[in-house]
Amino acid sequence: MEELEHRIFFADLFNWALGPAALWIGNLLGIHLNHERPIPNHVAMAIIVAALLVGVSAFMRNRYRLIPGPGQQIIELIVDFFQGLLLDVIGEKGKRYLPVIGTLGLFILTSNLIGLIPGFASPTSNLNVTVACALTIFVYYHFSGIREQGILHYLKHFLGPIPLLAPIVVPIEIISHFSRIISLSIRLFGNIFGEDLVILILFSLVPLFVPLPMQFMALFTSIVQTFVFVMLSCIYIGGAIAAEEEHTEAHSH
C-alpha cells in the first residue's frame, strides 16, 4: 500500500498551501501528523473530488435550460438513475434519500474514476475513505430508521419476532449491522486498490500500452462498484424504514 503513496502534484500543492494549517489543527486536537506531508494523498484527492463535484454542480445549476444541453442531459440521466434505483428499492418514500444517495454515488464514482487520470489517485483506493463512506451510510440509515419509527420502535426490531429468542437475535443483529460497515468499505477499497495495484504492476513491467486493458477494466469496475455501494445503501435504508411501512399497512388493514 505504501507503494501507491507516490508523490502527487495536487497533493503536494495542498501540503504546500494547507500543510501548516493542518499541522496546527492536528496539534490542537492532539493528532500526530506527518510533518513533511501532513495532508495525505487520499485526503487531498477526496477534497479535490468534493470540490470538483461542488464546482460542476454550481456551474451547471446556473446553466439549466428548459431544453437541456448535453451536459445537463448527462446530469439528468445520472439523477434519474439514482432516483429510479431509490424508487425501485425503497418505493415512493425513496425520493427523500436522493440527496444523500446521489452525493455518495457521485463522490464514489468520481473517486474511482479520477485514479485513471495521470497525476491523480483514487481516494477510494484508501481504506480510510471507504470506511468514511460506509460509516456515513451506517449512521444515516440508523438515523433514518429512528426518524421514521421512533427510537424504541426501531430498537424493538433488533429483538427479533420472538421475545424468547431475543438474547440470541440481538448479538446476531448487532454483528450483522456492524459487518455492513466492513463489507461496504472492504469491497470498495479492495476492488479499487486492487485495480490500481494491477495497473501499477503492469505499468512497472511495460509502461506503454500494456496497462490499457486493465484501465478499461478499471472503468467498468469503477462503475460497478459504485452501483453496488449505492444499491446496498438503498437496501439498508429501505430495510431501516420498511418496518414502519409494514406496521402502517397492518394498521390500515
Partner 1 sequence: MSTLFASLLLVLLSELPLLASTEEGTAHHQSLISTIAPYINFAILVGVLVYLLRKPMKDFLAQKREAVGKMLKDSEQARDEALSRLTALQSKLDSLEADIDQIRQQAEREAQAEKERLIQEAKEDARRIVEGAEKEISNRVKLAVRELKTYVAGEAVAKAEEIIREKIKDDSHEKLIDTYLENLSKN
Q: Which residues bind partner 1 (CB under 8 A)?
A: 9-10, 12, 66-68, 70, 73-74, 116-120, 203, 207-209, 211-212, 215-216, 219
Under a CB-based contact definition with an 8 Å cutoff, are residues 44 and 11 in contact? yes
Which residue shows C-alpha cell 451547471? Answer: 60
CB of 64 to partner 1, least distance (A): 13
Between 204 and 248, CB nearer to partner 1: 204
CB of 197 to partner 1, least distance (A): 15
Residues 6+ apart with CB under 8 A from 206: none
Residue nearer to partner 1 on the CB measure, 113 or 169: 113
**Smallest distance, Å, CB 127 to partner 1?**
24
> What is the Cα–Cα distance from 22 to 13, expressed in whole angstroms?
13
For the CB of residue 69, give the shortest distance to partner 1 in the complex, in Å. 8
C-alpha pair distances (Å), 2 with each of 5, 12, 28, 58: 5, 17, 27, 36
Q: Which CB atom, from 10 or from 227, has the smaller least distance to partner 1?
A: 10
Q: Which is nearer to partner 1, 71 or 150 (CB)?
A: 71
Q: In terms of C-beta density within 10 A (0-12 exposed, 13-18 middle, 19 or more buried), how is residue 98 classed? A: middle
Grid coordinates representing 28 are 490542537
C-beta closer to partner 1: residue 202 or 232? 202
Q: Which three cell numbers stand for residue 35?
A: 510533518
Nearer to partner 1, 175 or 209 (CB): 209
Cβ-based nearer residue to partner 1, 30 or 207:
207
Min dist CB 215 to partner 1, Å, is 5
State in angstroms the smallest separation of the CB of 35 from partner 1.
Answer: 21
Minimum separation from the CB atom of position 51 to partner 1 (A):
13
Q: How far apart are CA 233 and CA 81, in angstroms?
A: 15
HEC-encoded secondary structure of 91-154: CHHHHHHHHHHHHHHHHHHHHHHHCCCCCCCCHHHCHHHHHHHHHHHHHHHHHHHHHHHCHHHH
The C-alpha cell at 139 is 449512521
